[in-house]
Amino acid sequence: MSQAQAQAQAQATEGHQQHPLSIYLWIWVLLFVLSAFSYMVDFFHLEGMLRWTLILLFMTLKAGFIVAIFMHMAWERLALKLAILMPPLCLLVLIGFMAIEGDYTFITRGTAFLR
Amino acid sequence: MAHDAQVAALPPLKEVVADFAADKQAFQVPWGKAMMWIFLLSDTFIFSCFLTAYMNVRMSTMVDWPNPSQVFALHMFGQDIPMVLIAIMTFVLITSSGTMALAVNYGYRRDRRRTVLFLCATAALGATFVGMQVFEWTKLIMEGVRPWENPWGAAQFGSSFFMITGFHGCHVTAGVIYLLITAKRVSSGFYDRKGSYETVEVAGLYWHFVDLVWVFIFAFFYLW
């Protein structure tokens, strides 16, 4: 393990990201399969909670594999990982606020325009 | 170099502190890569704002949202196939991500011919994607979708659609140009003279990001 670590660090300090081709091909296949699964969600008209859960699951897996393997984030140092992957968490606040605001607008429109 | 070895042996969190704490280079990567990541971070915020705005208008409208499964259906082989064009576009973009990963890999192996080949294949797939998007836009515009109205339901559908897919399409178009310039430089031996193929990896980061954004657009706009 320490040897693998040392290797990874040597690669990182050199700025090199050389990995076996097979890992890219596997991830490629996996992305195809996951995309096919997400398409199936629509094709078989899954509805409600099941639909949303599956969409989010496949989306997260695909995004994770692209960032980790294709964009080499898995082999970068923790400083870069934190600097790039932490700030987007602020977006959860924005999404939360906008969801509350959207709900409020909906209710307001309901009381103002419908009777 | 002895200093680097010392830093490398620290446990993860202490490593972060050590990397940030001194008056020295924080990110142990070429500056082009660090800057591309920071640019992509800012782009993440732009696309997130669009998608959040879309969520907001979709939640607040009193009228039913048009059913994407039907809106994006194509009449083929005598029947309506839901979202077939979007599915093909998704597969084209994933394929291009795969060829891009191979281009980066062959670049680091100093295999110039294959690097150029895969970069051009990636650019061609990107151009195919944009072409299909043009077809999709044309079809929807002919059917009467405008940023302010559409025949099927909530008016906000059109503005969200054109804003989000249009901005993404611009990114793909810019990416195709970026990849072609990179391919030209690889074939002229520019990176051999420079002694590093990192620029190909940095171009790859941008391209994979374009694919990444599509994953979210596909999930939230087309499937939800």
Domain ranges of chain B: 46-223
Give CA–CA dist B35/A106, Å, rounded: 41
Q: What is the pLDDT of residue A9?
A: 47
Q: Secondary structure of B158-193 in the HEC alphabet? A: HHHHHHHHHHHHHHHHHHHHHHHHHHHHHHCCHHHH
Cα B175–chain centre separation: 8
Confidence at A16, pLDDT banded by 50, 70, 90: low
Among the listed residues B216, B218, B224, B222, the one whose alpha carbon sits nearest the alpha carbon of residue B43: B216
CA distance linking residue B171 with residue A61, whole number of Å:
23
Task: Pick from B48, B52, B194, B201 the residue to mutate for testing the A interface (most A CBs within 10 Å).
Answer: B52
DSSP B78: T
What residues of chain B lie within 8 A of the CB of A59, using their CB? Answer: 215-216, 218-219
Gap between the Cα atoms of A106 and B169, Å rounded: 31
Tokens of residue B93, six digits: 């973009």
Among the CATH numbers 3.30.1200.10, 1.20.120.80, 3.30.70.260, 1.10.10.10, which is that of B46-223?
Answer: 1.20.120.80
For residues B100 and B125, is the Cβ–Cβ distance under 8 A?
A: no
Residues of chain B with pLDDT under 70: 1-8
Distance of CA B78 to the CA centre of its chain: 34
CB-CB under 8 Å, A24 with B28:
no
Nearest to B47 by CA among B129, B164, B148: B164
Which of B55, B109, B211 lies at the smallest CB-CB distance from A102?
A: B55
CA of residue B65 relative to chain centroid, distance: 26
Sole residue written with tokens 């039913």: B64
Q: How far apart are CA B152 and CA B66, in angstroms?
A: 5
Question: For B94-128, what is each residue's pLDDT tens digit?
Answer: 999 999 999 999 999 999 999 999 999 999 999 99
* C-alpha to C-alpha distance for A71 and A77, rounded to whole angstroms: 13
Both tokens assigned to B158? 């059109």
For residue range A89-114, list pLDDT tens digits in order.
Answer: 999 999 999 999 999 999 999 888 86
User: Across chain A, what does the average pLDDT equal?
Assistant: 86
pLDDT value of position A25: 92
Question: Which of A10-19, A63-72, A86-95 is predicted with the least confidence, judged by mean pLDDT?
Answer: A10-19
Query: Looking at the complex, does the CB of residue A70 fall below 8 Å from at least one CB of chain B?
Result: yes
Q: What's the pTM?
A: 0.87
Tell which residue, A3, A72, A82, has the closest CA to residue B27: A82
Residues of chain A with Cβ-Cβ distance to B97 below 8 Å are 28, 31, 66, 70
- Rounded CA-CA distance B45/B49 in Å is 6
**What is the ipTM, given to two decimal places?**
0.84
The region of weakest confidence among A10-19, A31-40, B77-86, B95-104 is: A10-19
Closest CA to A39 of B128, B176, B40, B84: B84
Q: Give the A:B interface size as CB pairs under 8 Å.
A: 165
Nearest CA in chain A to B86: A39
Inter-chain residue contact A95 with B59, CB threshold 8 Å: no
Handedness of CA B112, B117, B121, B127 (dihedral sign): positive
β-strand partners of B146: B149
Q: B215–A59: do the CB atoms touch at under 8 Å? A: yes
Average pLDDT over residues A50-57: 93
Q: Could you tell me which of B135, B74, B107, B87 has the C-alpha nearest to residue B205?
A: B107
Which residues, listed in sequence order, are joined to residue B79 by a DSSP beta bridge? Answer: B76
